[in-house]
């Protein structure tokens, strides 16, 4: 059963329960939140997620006990990404907040307000490995307000000739903004690819006054 099918089944079950147990929407929302919190506290959730509104649009922040696992940008299909996370990491996914998610939401707000230049939240690197992870580690060192090139990042990751592979790693960065792949441009100054789209990349660089 996919996550979407599971959600549909949950909504159907809740609909049946509503016919039996009279309660307001607020009471049902509180019951859902209580169930989610209890599941998380009892270690039944491997991946927690929560949506967050930003100037780019609605993002979905996914976290494990280790840290932030995946930032889903507005241009992506959030449900498809959750299905991918279920296959690659765990199917025990639930919409519930965690301290890491709460901190990330606050730091994102500060970043978009121009009051934050670095992020302090712990990261879960499970979705990257080998050279791709080295590329993202190198990208994480690019300072706010500055840019680098795909070639420079590939060189910093130890494989100066693997420019195309570095570009692929950045185009599939599971931790956008927290790992600032938007700061990497083509050698000719062109923006290059971005998981959230060129408009989003331009918006982030303009925010940082690096364009």
pTM here is 0.82
Q: Which residues are catalytic?
A: 181
Closest CA to 63 of 54, 55, 53, 51: 51
Q: pLDDT category, 12, cuts 50, 70, 90?
A: very low
Alpha-carbon gap, residue 138 to 153, rounded angstroms: 6
43: left (phi over 0), alpha (psi -120 to 50) or beta: left
Q: What is the pLDDT of residues 95-133, one digit of tens each?
A: 888 999 999 999 999 999 999 999 999 999 999 999 999
Average pLDDT score, the chain: 87
| Least-confidence region, from 14-28, 53-67, 110-124, 137-151 | 14-28
Task: Provide the terminal-to-terminal Cα distance of the chain, rounded to the nearest Å.
Answer: 45
Q: Answer yes or no: is pLDDT of 20 > 80.
A: no
Domains with residue ranges and CATH for the chain: 3-112 (no CATH), 130-207 (1.10.10.10)
- How far are the Cα atoms of 14, 27, 97 from residue 34, in angstroms, in the given order? 15, 10, 11
């Amino acid at each position: 059963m996919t996550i979407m099918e599971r959600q549909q089944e949950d909504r159907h079950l809740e609909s049946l329960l509503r016919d039996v147990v009279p309660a307001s929407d607020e009471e049902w929302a509180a019951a859902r939140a209580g169930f989610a919190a209890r599941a998380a506290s009892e270690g039944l959730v491997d991946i927690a997620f929560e949506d967050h509104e930003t100037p780019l649009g609605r993002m979905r922040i996914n976290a494990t006990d280790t840290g932030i696992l995946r930032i889903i940008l507005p241009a992506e299909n959030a449900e498809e990404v959750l299905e991918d996370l279920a296959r690659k990491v765990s199917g025990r996914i639930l919409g519930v907040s965690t301290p890491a998610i709460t901190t990330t939401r606050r730091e994102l707000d500060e970043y978009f307000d121009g009051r934050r230049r670095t992020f302090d939240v712990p990261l879960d690197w499970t979705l990257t490995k080998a050279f791709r992870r080295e590329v993202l580690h190198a990208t994480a060192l690019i300072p706010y307000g500055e840019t680098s090139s795909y070639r420079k990042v590939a060189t910093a990751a130890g494989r100066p000739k693997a420019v195309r592979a570095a570009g692929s790693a950045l185009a599939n960065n599971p931790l956008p903004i927290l790992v600032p792949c938007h700061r990497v441009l083509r050698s000719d100054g062109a923006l290059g690819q971005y998981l959230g789209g060129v408009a989003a990349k331009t918006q982030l660089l303009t925010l940082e006054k690096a364009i």
